[in-house]
Amino acid sequence: MKAKLLLAEAATGHPDGTISMLRAGITHVWVQQPPYGLQASLISRIEAELGDAGSHNFDLRCMNEDGAEVMPKMQGQFNAPQGGGANNLILNFTTAFPKPGRYTFVLRVDNVQLDACSVQVTQAPSAPVPSAPGHEPGTPPGT
């Protein structure tokens, strides 16, 4: 069994087993100020092989650089069809990260890690204050 995990701006699954994604492959998020919010979709396509038929357990978690979980763990089950096949997992979520840093989403199936993807959360630099017409940038108006 193998899987691919991606972070996207939005995603939708379709009855024919395909997935529509918007801005997939996000690895960096810039935010102006705390809380460090993110609204996104986490997408995984789990491909089962011939010998993987039957019921399987999965868990999906998000951890900080120290390995502490920063979001509630998501758990569930899926069935791999006889002869193999694919299962799509789409998690649309909104979260607030506690501080800037690297956060890693980890997908495990039957207690085996199949994939992980990371996102770097960075505080965006504040925008420079525009100067008044006729004044040098950075000098107070009226000088």
- Asked if 60 and 46 count as a contact pair (C-beta separation under 8 A), the reply is no
- pTM value is 0.82
Provide CB contacts within 8 A for 22, sequence distance 6+: 8, 9, 10, 11
Mind listing the pLDDT tens digit for each residue in 61-106? 999 999 999 999 999 999 998 998 999 999 999 999 989 999 999 9
- Asked if 45 and 91 count as a contact pair (C-beta separation under 8 A), the reply is no
**What are the structural domains, with CATH classification, of the chain?**
2-123 (2.60.40.10)
Mind listing the pLDDT tens digit for each residue in 104-119? 999 999 999 999 999 9
Asked whether the bond before 133 is cis by omega within 30 degrees of 0, the reply is no
